[in-house]
Amino acid sequence: MLTACGGQENQAQEPASDGQNASENAEALPMVHAEIVIRDYGTVKLELDPNEAPLTVENFVNLASGGFYDGLKFHRIMDGFMIQGGANPDAKLEAIPGEFSSNGYENSISHTEGVISMARTNQPNSATSQFFITVADDTFLDGQYAAFGHVTEGLDICKKIASDAKPIDDNGTIPEDQQPVIETITITD
């Protein structure tokens, strides 16, 4: 359950039968704010939108609030595209539904520069903890990945991480000893 400012609990909803998020029919939920502290780089501030992707925001908030991301890394980085992190191969996490249009969910957040979105396998309902932040306009991802917020401060940090990266393949794989460390992700409200 996602607890918004003011202490009211809001139950995440399955998509309505017309393909729109059920939350569109209810009162708008307040935005959620988060900060990612990245070792040797600084702090990236985010605004998360539970109106567009309620299950995704709830999942991210729960993982961050429980300290799941602390010490994990950005392991896949492609300059001019995105930085991806949040993988923990030892964690046994339940996948969440992919909140994007090709999977039956309305989500109007476009993958423009500075958007945070969930990474997944080729299965639409396979996202667990991995997320990526775009460092360029990547609108070809729209409708295929669950975007759930955007960077409000620190986009320059994300771009610096991307430009510093030295991937060892065309998939953006970063050697483990060169992966930027997520010190913590804090939900600030």
Q: What does the block give as tokens for 27? A: 């009162």
Cα 52 to Cα 103, 105, 118, 120: the distances in Å are 14, 9, 13, 18
Domain locations along the chain = 27-187
The residue behind tokens 């986009």 is 155
The domain 27-187 is classified under which CATH number: 1.20.1070.10, 3.30.43.10, 3.30.1330.20, 2.40.100.10?
2.40.100.10
pLDDT digits (tens, 9 = 90+) for 42-98: 999 999 999 999 999 999 999 999 999 999 999 999 999 999 999 999 999 999 999
Cα 7 to Cα 1, 2, 4: the distances in Å are 12, 10, 6
The residue behind tokens 């998020």 is 21
Q: What is the pTM of this model?
A: 0.86
